[in-house]
Amino acid sequence: MKFNTKTIHGGQEHDKAYGSVMPPIYQTSTYAQSTPGGHKGYEYSRTHNPTRNALEKSFASIENGNHGLAFGSGLAAIDAVIKLLKPGDEVISTNDLYGGTYRLFTKIYEAFGIKFHFIGMENASKIEMYINKNTKLIWVETPTNPMLNIIDLEAVSKIAKKYEVLLAADNTFATPYLQKPLDLGADIVMHSATKYLGGHSDVVMGALVVKEKELADKLYFIQNASGAVCGPQDSFLVLRGIKTLHVRMQRHCENGRAIAAYLEQHPKIEKVYWPGLKTHPNHDIAKAQMKDFGGMLSFTTKGNSYEASIRIVEKLKIFTLAESLGGVESLSGHPASMTHASIPKEEREKTGVIDSLIRLSVGIEDIDDLISDLDQALL
Ligand SMILES: *Cc1c(COP(=O)(O)O)cnc(C)c1O
């Protein structure tokens, strides 16, 4: 089955009771038993729920994995991965990382004796310098947030395999429409399904997908034992979202390309960060591992003024100033005052998050309206 069919049919079957084409929302915590243990495969909804299971099969299908797991948020999914580890274990992670992931690693798990190394992985061989006998996991985000750096997943996975270390990839920005980390050698793929998979900014959810049964069993155990599952309503919504993922992504990419081109020639713009631009330092790797380049982009303005950037995001009308990304509607964000405000100026500037940086999640509206909106805001 091809990807554009998997988004709609992958892992899905029509409801056995009445043939409903969409899975019913099984809004139940428990299931009747005829005799102790006499049930139809479902006992309690933390452990299993038919609507959630339908979604988990869809997750597995679109990422070319064998086992999918749905969680109450992206961070709950990451939390489950770190629970595979024990005190003394070490993790090597990308340094330009989603802020919440960084907070989870440093503020929660360092206190439990897990050590994290945050490094630039644009040159994958750098990872080897940090590997020792305690290294158990490599955590990668690509493209990264908000600088849209690209990491070579195949190169990182070769290193992970050589040292028998697990490789997990946060595929939130790219989605499986653009790149499939499991096919490139990752062991675990993770999503904030809140973003593109849900696609409509109406639900918070996380996902994991793996190929290996043994690893899946460990993660299912953690999912049930820790209990950070998502509810049946939310499962239904994300399953519905996934059915249009390929169509939405196609338009996100088209609009992203047009806006990158528009910004590049604008006299007030200093720099545009979008992996599809030939000027992007890892454009060639992006081109090799991604089908297209997505709808996330960042830019800076000449003069690097904090205030001028605030005025731009305030003036934008169709681009709503808001956290999050990946929905059908366009959003803007100013990392220095929003997502990265808690990071000291010198620290954030090291990774490129300077005062004038603006991040756009380009939606699927008409491109003419989006460009007019940017035009009036940049005046
Ligand atoms: C939003 C996001 C997360 C966290 O997901 P939640 O659903 O908000 O918990 C993790 N990684 C990336 C790249 C994200 O954009």
Strand-pairing partners, residue 206, are 71, 192
- Cα–Cα distance, 71 to 316 (Å, whole number): 34
Q: Give tens-digit pLDDT for 177-221.
A: 999 999 999 999 999 999 999 999 999 999 999 999 999 999 999
Residues of the chain with pLDDT > 70, as a percent, come to 100
Q: Which of 152, 170, 234, 292 is catalytic?
A: 170
Catalytic-labelled residue, pool 26, 98, 177, 220: 98
46 has catalytic annotation: yes
- Sign of the torsion angle spanned by Cα atoms 81, 84, 86, 91: negative
Phi then psi for residue 208, to 5 deg, are -130, 145
Stretch 265-279: mean pLDDT, rounded?
Answer: 97
Ligand 1: which residues within 6 Å by Cβ?
73-75, 98, 100-101, 141, 145, 170, 172-173, 192, 194-195, 204, 206
> How far apart are the CA of 231 and the centre of ligand 1, in A?
18
Instruction: Please tell me the predicted confidence (pLDDT) of residue 341.
Output: 84
Q: Is the pLDDT confidence value at 147 over 90?
A: yes
Q: 15-66, pLDDT tens digit by residue?
A: 888 999 999 999 999 999 999 999 999 999 999 999 999 999 999 999 999 9
Let me know if 195 is a catalytic residue. yes
Which residue is catalytic, options 57, 180, 195, 348? Answer: 195
Residue with the smallest CA separation from ligand 1 atom 6 is 74
Tell whether the model's pLDDT for residue 96 goes beyond 90. no
What's the farthest any 2 CA atoms get from each other in the chain? 74
Give dist(CA 339, CA 146) in Å, integer: 9
- Specify the amino acid at residue 19: G
Residue range 316-369, pLDDT digits in tens: 999 999 999 999 999 999 999 998 887 789 988 988 999 999 999 999 999 999
pLDDT, position 351:
87
What integer pLDDT is reported at residue 301 of this predicted model? 97
Q: Give the count of alpha carbons within 13 A of 56, CB side only.
A: 25
Percentage of the chain modeled with pLDDT above 90: 94
Active site residue 170: yes
pLDDT for 66 equals 98
pLDDT single digits (tens) 61-95? 999 999 999 999 999 999 999 999 999 999 999 98
The pLDDT tens digits for 104-130 are 999 999 999 999 999 999 899 999 999
**What local confidence, expressed as pLDDT, does residue 97 receive?**
87
Residue 318 near residue 330 (C-beta atoms within 8 A): yes
Q: How confident is the model at residue 347, as a pLDDT?
A: 81
Name which residue sits closest to atom 4 of ligand 1, judged by CA.
74
What are the structural domains of the chain?
3-242 (3.40.640.10), 246-377 (3.90.1150.10)
